[in-house]
Chains A and B, each alone.
Chain A
Amino acid sequence: EVQLVESGGDLVQPGGSLRLSCAASGFPFNIYWMHWVRQAPGQGLVWVSRVNTDGRTTYADSVKGRFDVSRDNSKNTLYLQMNSLRVEDTAVYYCVRLEPDTVTTDYWGQGTLVTVSS
């Protein structure tokens, strides 16, 4: 059974940093690309970033230069390092699996809540 379990969400002050983790199981993590997607309270889904199997990354303009996505295939874990956090970064953050051959975005984690507030 495919499982994605996010953790690390917390209340943080503006300008602060936070690292999210996503533990993957039930599939060969090393051959899948992964997304981070976020959803502010009562709002729609927003794509944040993607990491390839070899660690190459892309980011939405809104987080470029502030967020850093990485993966440790030996630990089957995806990370999102978030720096210079802003109030507008407040959201539930989901890790999502992406199958690269068919460009299929399929399994989602349950999400972790990041609240940026003073």
Chain B
Amino acid sequence: QTVVTQEPSLTVSPGGTVTLTCASSTGAVTSGNYPNWFQQKPGQVPRALIYSTSNKHSWTPARFSGSLLGGKAALTLSGVQPEDEADYYCLLFYGGTQLWVFGGGTKLTVL
């Protein structure tokens, strides 16, 4: 059973920078896992932010960026805004099994 692990919670000050990570129990996350990132605010439908590691959707604010960092997928928020307070989920693809797995999510608090 493949497990994808994210930080359960992080806190950042307005205007600050924070990096959320996404690790795989099978080893290093690579571009072949096509990491996707999603934001979900309370009571709302998840919204896609990043696809294929680092690509932004047309609606993704410029302060969000994706990368690979130390064997993990990473989502960095630079110049955090109060409205960025939300749950963030990563999604990884495993080509060998053709399965997808979400991380457990990171609750980001802006304080």
Contact = CB atoms under 8 A, between A and B. Distances in A.
Contacts of B12: none
Interface residues of A, number: 21
Contacts of B48: 104-108
B99 A104 contact: no
A1 interface: no
B24 interface: no
Interface of B is mostly: strand
Interface in B17-66: 34, 36, 38, 40, 45-48, 51-52, 55, 57
Contacts of A44: 87, 89, 102-105
Contacts of A58: 97-99
A60 B99 contact: yes
Interface of B: 1, 34, 36, 38, 40, 45-48, 51-52, 55, 57, 87, 89, 91, 93, 97-105
